[in-house]
Structure 1
């Protein structure tokens, strides 16, 4: 049986993003179980429904990349108690034109990190609502509200000992979720 193909979408374009660091560390934890592909959002222009009649090639290419995966791991920060505009734009663009959504049926998981106590809980809740509408079966448990702290990710990009077992279990559960629900 072939390895799973997992797309990783980070909701931040920042070069110093702690969510990108978390995503890279999560990929290391599950690299034997799946092939991972970081799908970048920053090249996408702002979606405008006026373009649906002549759907832009950049959006079609993005949709093709999304569809090439068995599952999608969303690793997102929280902006003003919701999902970042960059991520929302990508979700909207790849769901259009109506009836041709790239997201439909692809199993997903959501995780994120922030320095504050509630981490990215509100963004994740909003993202769950959006993914539900987009018909993406989204893993409900375990939830991944990860508080960023020194030692979460070490200098080599590995998950530190205090969080290793939880995040390894999170990724194992996600791999099983995708294996069970992936399209044939």
Structure 2
């Protein structure tokens, strides 16, 4: 069986993002089973429907091609004010336009995230799942990935630390199985 093509979308633009660190650690967990591409959303302009069909829409079109090349998508997101970070919502909206030409349709997805707080990124993940329903993305429901950040979550080499390794390895195994079970349409 050929390797799956997995796109990882990090909901934060911060260079110090703990969610980016988590995403890189998760990518290492599956590097023998999947080819991982990071879908960079940081350069996108603020979406405006007046862009549809104009040169200003080009950054969205370029990302659409990258997304459509994926067998599955993993969204790794922080929580901003109990919801989805603005750059992530902007990317979801822009790549769903113009109407009828969404890049997301039918691609299996999962969501995970980390935060120092107790509930981690649970509210952002729930809001993101609601958006996925509209975008027609079959979304893995279990296991959920509410990961509390600690300094030992990721080791100095960028690997998942021992305290979380088994859970996150299982999470990623479930995600890859989900993608295989729900081939994109």
**Residue pair 2:44, 2:60 contacting (<8 A) in 1 also:** yes
Residue 183 of structure 1 deviates from its aligned partner by 2.8
Q: Please give the secondary structure, in 1, of the residue aligned with 2:74.
A: strand
| In the alignment, structure 1 residue 173 sits paired with structure 2 residue 174 | yes
Measured in 2, the distance between the counterparts of 1:77 and 1:123 equals 7
Equivalent residues in 2 for 1:8-87 (5 A)? 8-54=8-54, 56-87=57-88
> SS state of the match for residue 69, structure 1?
coil
Unaligned runs of 5+ in 2: none
Let me know the Cα RMSD of the aligned residues.
Answer: 1.0
Q: Deviations over 1:23-52 (max 9, x none)?
A: 000011111110000010111101001112
Structure 2: how far apart are the matches of 1:32 and 1:73? 17
1:27-86, CA deviations, whole angstroms, 9 ceiling, x for partnerless residues?
A: 111111100000101111010011124362111111111101000000000000000000
Aligned equivalents of 2:80 and 2:141: distance in 1? 22
Instruction: Give the equivalent residue in structure 2 for 1:130.
Output: 131
Distance in 1, Cα, partners of 2:53 & 2:95: 14
Normalised TM-score (structure 2): 0.97
- Unpaired runs of at least 5, structure 1: none
> Residues 107 and 184 of structure 2 are in contact (CA less than 8 Å); yes or no, is this contact kept in structure 1?
yes
What do the CA deviations read for 1:146-184 (whole angstroms, capped 9, x no partner)?
A: 000121111111111111100000000000000111237
Instruction: Check conservation: 2:72, 2:184, Cα contact below 8 A.
Output: no
The count of residues paired between Structure 1 and Structure 2 equals 184
Query: Once the two structures are superposed, what CA deviation does each residue of 1:71-102 show, in whole Å capped at 9, x if it has no partner?
Result: 00000000000000000000000000001110
In the alignment, the residues of structure 2 paired with residue 13 and residue 131 of structure 1 have an alpha-carbon distance, to the nearest angstrom, of 21
Following TM superposition, where does structure 1 have runs of at least 4 consecutive aligned residues deviating by more than 6 angstroms?
none
TM-score of the pair, normalised by structure 1:
0.98
Report what 1:109 is aligned to.
110
